[in-house]
Amino acid sequence: MILLLLGPPGAGKGTQGELLAKELGIPKIATGDVLRAALRDGTKLGKEAKSYMDRGDLVPDDVILGIMREKFESDETKDGAVLDGVVRTVPQAHGLGVMLAKLGRGVDKVMLFDIDDEKLVARLSSRTVCDKCQHPFKDREPGTKCEKCGGTLVRRKDDEPEAVRNRLRVYKDQTAPVIEWYEDREAAPLKIKADGSPEEVTERALRALKEK
């Protein structure tokens, strides 16, 4: 199964991607992870991506999709994958579909993690991250030491309440057309209530997959 995750910032896609991948026995693939791996390994596409990043430019979709294609040509994804952060715009959704079709594959299920805006604002504005390892912590004050690496916990500027609301507005502008795009192709996203503990959300997601 190729499972695509959608949802606003802070809805828990990263955590759910890892938990669902473990439950389904398939790898989780996130755009940032495959990009960092390509840069680390010095692949041809990794070097091309680095040339854009060194100039301060966004890495084009075709380069990202090329790196994703390499992933889907490997044995690692022969049984499927959970895709997190791979699709944020309609052109990306279309490009992913074309790339997978050339490999005789396609997105099997789309999952949309849904949560009230103000709950997201409260969740993200109470979050701090380590300035070294970037691990997130909930309800921990800035300046506290990170238990994982000894770094210092900080609150990111884009986690301030008004910044979160702006991120949500951008997300909705970009993602509403993506949801419609998948609905038009008989892959209507499964809507999952994303508040509650990570385990509760995973249970809802797995139940939704079984029911569909």
Q: Does the annotation count 13 as an active-site position? A: yes
Catalytic residue from among 109, 140, 167, 204: 167
Catalytic residue from among 50, 105, 156, 165: 156
Within 13 Å and on the Cβ side, how many CA atoms surround 36?
Answer: 5
Catalytic residue from among 13, 109, 140, 204: 13
Q: Does the annotation count 127 as an active-site position? A: yes
Q: Is the torsion defined by CA of 3, 5, 11, 13 positive or negative?
A: positive
Catalytic residue from among 50, 88, 105, 191: 88
Query: Comparing C-alpha atoms, which of 118, 144, 117 is closest to residue 130?
Result: 144
DSSP tag of 144: P
Taking the C-alpha atoms of residue 159 and residue 127, their distance in angstroms, rounded to an integer, is: 7
Q: Does the annotation count 207 as an active-site position? A: no
Token pair listed for 45: 């596409």
Residues 6+ apart with CB under 8 A from 121: 161, 164, 165, 168
Q: Does the annotation count 185 as an active-site position? A: no
136-138 and 190-193 beta bridge pairing: unpaired
Q: Does the annotation count 167 as an active-site position? A: yes
Taking the C-alpha atoms of residue 156 and residue 42, their distance in angstroms, rounded to an integer, is: 30
Catalytic residue from among 28, 109, 123, 127: 127
Which residues are the active-site residues? 13, 88, 127, 156, 167
